[in-house]
A and B are shown apart, each in its own frame.
Chain A
Amino acid sequence: MIVSTRKPLDQILPALEGGSRVFIIGCAKCATVCKTGGEEEVFRMQEELTAAGKEVTGTIIIDETCHMLRTGRDLRSRKEQVDEADFLLVLSCGAGIQSVAEASDKKIVAGSDTKFLGNIRRFGQFEQRCSLCGDCRLNDTGGVCPVTVCPKGMLNGPCGGMEDGNCEVDSNNRCVWVTIYERLERQGRVENLDRATPTRDFSHKRHPHNLKLEK
């Protein structure tokens, strides 16, 4: 899922200057799971804005804000409240925010920061394991991604900053190359690490991406 966090109110209010009526949009998928834009958070945002002297013309939780056609359709179903508003404040990932922008010419305000593609450890705990690099090396690294889990994205083993098996950037984190080594050792294939990995092909990271499945 896409992990996002809510922007603090003092970063949102300046974007709402020059108008007082706000329509709030949440998302029932990722933003609900990471408590950025679910029912509760949309309600809290409404209260905060009201306390700050804004008028909330309405709220909606769209089932999947990244779905552009659905977002457009759901906003049309609330046309009056949307039309009344000076701003559409969106509490979803950046993809969802732009679905809203695609669907309406109103001023869009992002109420959240989109952080990473996250694995869910348990409720409310997310970890980045994949950075969507488009050039997957997991077959060579025992199913553990050094591109993502190592802050330097080291491809050929630990850097000189490893200390007692921990990372130089955050000593609370195990060096991913220790994890990879131990895993390959258990599987009897440490020799996987003997060959230098080819350089990464960053052309896979060229954006914007799009993909159209063959019919």
Chain B
Amino acid sequence: MPAMLSRKMGNNSFIVTAELAPPRGSDMSAFLRMAAFVAPHVDAINVTDNQGANMRMTPLTAAALLVREGIEPIMQITCRDRNRLALQSDLLGAAAMGIHNILALTGDHITCGDHRQGRAVFDLDSVLLIQTIQGLNEGRDINGKPLDGSTMFFVGAAAAPEVEPFIVTRPKLAKKAIAGARFFQTQAVFDPQRLTTFCATVEPLGVKVIAGILVLRSAKMAEYINRNIPGLKIPAAVVERLANSPDPAAEGLRIATELAVRCRDICHGVHLMAMGRDEVVPAIAAALK
């Protein structure tokens, strides 16, 4: 399967990605149905890795099944559940299955999820993971030993444009770029001005910025996210707009669409986090056409 995402980013096309979580079980039918529904409207689909430290099927299998369906995945991989051996061996497996795009993450802490008594690994962090993937691309493992067949991964990393204090995160963003990250998929953004500043800050790194767009359903959901999801802060103005609307779900879609359209003039793409409402993806994608 051709690696279209890197080619499109190279051509400066405006990128649209969405994300799907693998099932909490072995039944792939709903996952594949949603993927088939969303795929025609996006350039690639992120497959999450035990997102929020909640146990689900490995993204390796789920992403490989997308490849089989002719859908381009971005396989997310975190350092929380695997040491350096497991990370490398899963990555080699991914390469063999035709997975090209990797989003390399540190991962939410295990105490955020549904297996709090488990042991978190964090043998590597995201920067070291990106370095490791770069090494696999150059045909060597983390210790420099040559591989039988190198990988050709197109690697992205996470970034948080609205985090405070932002300056503390800056050296790490640079390290991710130097290590080999070619794109940032950001945490949810809400403020176009801050996204503009972020893009200007990371511009010298030569990394594409795909802005995270969260599609909210209600003020209650926004408040829940603010309480429970690490690194995600929905501003009061957005919560208020949802609270005051007679149709909060439609309002959430409107907020997301407005922001996505603004992003066309600010960054290189949008990453749609539909929070289970995958039917909104075609609507937002159409507004971006």
Binding site for B on A (CB under 8 A): 151-165, 168-169, 175, 177-178, 181, 190, 193-197, 199-200, 202
Q: B58 interface residue, CB < 8 Å from A? A: no
Known: A151-B109, A193-B171, A195-B175. 13 other contacts (CB 8 A): A151-B111, A152-B80, A153-B125, A155-B127, A156-B126, A160-B105, A160-B187, A161-B108, A165-B164, A165-B165, A169-B109, A196-B127, A200-B123
B167 touching A196, Cβ below 8 Å = no
CB pairs A–B below 8 angstroms (13 shown): A151-B109, A151-B120, A152-B120, A156-B127, A157-B172, A158-B169, A159-B106, A160-B105, A160-B158, A160-B231, A165-B164, A168-B112, A196-B178
User: Which of A157, A160, A196 makes the CB contact (< 8 A) with B131?
Assistant: A196
- In the assembled complex, which residues on chain B have CB atoms less than 8 Å from the CB atom of A164? 164
A160 touching B122, Cβ below 8 Å = no
- CA separation between A169 and B122, bound complex, in Å? 14
- In the assembled complex, which residues on chain A have CB atoms less than 8 Å from the CB atom of B109? 151-152, 161, 168-169
Q: How many A-B residue pairs have CB under 8 A?
A: 100
Residue of B nearest to A191 (CB): B171
B231 to A: closest C-beta gap in Å: 5
B128 touching A158, Cβ below 8 Å = no
A189 to B: closest C-beta gap in Å: 12
- In the assembled complex, which residues on chain B have CB atoms less than 8 Å from the CB atom of A190? 171
B163 touching A156, Cβ below 8 Å = no
- In the assembled complex, which residues on chain A have CB atoms less than 8 Å from the CB atom of B131? 196
B125 touching A155, Cβ below 8 Å = yes
Residues of B in contact, count (CB < 8 Å): 36
Q: Beta-carbon contacts of B179-220 to A below 8 Å, as 1s and 0s?
A: 100000001000000000000000000000000000000000
Q: Within B76-114, which residues are at the interface with A (CB < 8 Å)?
A: 80, 84, 105-106, 108-109, 111-112
- CA separation between A197 and B5, bound complex, in Å? 30
A196 touching B230, Cβ below 8 Å = no
Residue of B nearest to A175 (CB): B168
A131 to B: closest C-beta gap in Å: 12
- CA separation between A200 and B142, bound complex, in Å? 12
Q: B285 interface residue, CB < 8 Å from A? A: no
B222 to A: closest C-beta gap in Å: 15
B108 to A: closest C-beta gap in Å: 6
A152 touching B122, Cβ below 8 Å = yes
Q: Within B13-65, which residues are at the interface with A (CB < 8 Å)?
A: none
Residue among A153, A160, A177 with the highest chain B CB neighbour number at 10 A: A160
- In the assembled complex, which residues on chain A have CB atoms less than 8 Å from the CB atom of B168? 157-158, 162, 165, 175, 177-178, 181
Q: Within B114-163, which residues are at the interface with A (CB < 8 Å)?
A: 120, 122-128, 131, 142, 158, 160, 163
Residue of A nearest to B83 (CB): A202
A152 touching B106, Cβ below 8 Å = yes
A163-B233, A168-B231, A196-B178 known; A157 vs B160 contact (CB < 8 Å): no
Residue of B nearest to A182 (CB): B168
User: Which of B111, B123, B167, B230 makes the CB contact (< 8 A) with A202?
Assistant: B123
B13 to A: closest C-beta gap in Å: 26
- In the assembled complex, which residues on chain A have CB atoms less than 8 Å from the CB atom of B255? none
A124 to B: closest C-beta gap in Å: 25
- In the assembled complex, which residues on chain B have CB atoms less than 8 Å from the CB atom of A156? 125-128, 172, 175
- In the assembled complex, which residues on chain A have CB atoms less than 8 Å from the CB atom of B128? 155-156, 196-197, 199
- CA separation between A162 and B270, bound complex, in Å? 22
- CA separation between A181 and B170, bound complex, in Å? 11
A178 touching B165, Cβ below 8 Å = yes
